[in-house]
Amino acid sequence: MEHLNLGGGLPGTYRTDVSPVEAYAHVILTAVDHHFPHPHQPRLVLEPGRAVVADAGITVTSVKAVVDRSCGTYVVLDTGLYNAGLLDNLGGIEYRVTFPGHPEGAATRPVTLCGPTCDSLDTFTADNVYHAPLALAPGDRGVIWSTGAYRSTSTLVSFNGYPPVPQYTHVPRSDVADRVPEKPQEL
């Protein structure tokens, strides 16, 4: 055998802990050594996918509304499944979401995060409940982390009057590296 295609699917960094790429490499190389004696080892082909590109993107969002209902609190964001292409959430990916305008360790409450469209799919599904600061208010900024994989998909469309969110390419600058940009010129 000349090549062995291992496929893809190494995970990105989302809300749950994942093993580092090195751990996967160790398991793969150990199995190859076991099943293919030297010097007859195949060349390995691997599509790392999210492990490489997920952390290459963030989505900056704003809170449109915080709505208290008898069934819970809903935080409506200006980005969601359709206009920001956050399709992975339908497949069980739970994005890490933070609200940088609030101090670390501020009191929080359980919330349901949703996009702006009022469509039932435009909700951040989660096995583990999302929490948001008690003081969260319309206009506050949020950051949806690890959105670099598959974000520019067919779901990135105008829907229910919401156009797709703009996308920018970030060239690192030391003066903006540790904060969320306030406007595109700061990217």
Report pLDDT digits (tens) over 116-145.
Answer: 988 888 888 788 899 999 999 999 999 999
Q: What is the pLDDT of residue 187?
A: 43
Q: What angle do CA 175, 176, 180 make, to 5 degrees?
A: 155
Contact partners, residue 112, CB within 8 Å, separation at least 6: 72, 73, 74, 75, 123, 124, 130
Burial of 92 (0-12, 13-18, 19+ CB in 10 A): exposed
Q: What is d(CA 152, CA 175) in angstroms, rounded to the nearest whole number?
A: 28
Instruction: Give residue limits of the domains in the chain.
Output: 3-54, 57-165
CA distances from residue 151 to 23, 60, 88, 108 in whole angstroms, order as listed: 27, 13, 8, 28
Q: What is the chain's mean pLDDT, rounded?
A: 83
Encoded tokens for 63:
């809170």
67: pLDDT strictly greater than 60: yes
Indicate the pairing of strand 3-8 with strand 43-47: parallel
- Topology, domain 57-165: Lyase, Ornithine Decarboxylase; Chain A, domain 1 (2.40.37)
| Alpha-carbon dihedral angle through residues 77, 83, 86, 89, given to the nearest 10 degrees | 70
Q: What is the pLDDT of residue 184?
A: 47
Do 14 and 52 touch, CB atoms closer than 8 A? no
pLDDT in tens, 12-39: 888 888 888 899 899 999 999 999 988 8
pLDDT in tens, 78-103: 988 877 777 766 677 888 999 998 98
What is the CA 27 to chain-centroid distance, rounded?
Answer: 26
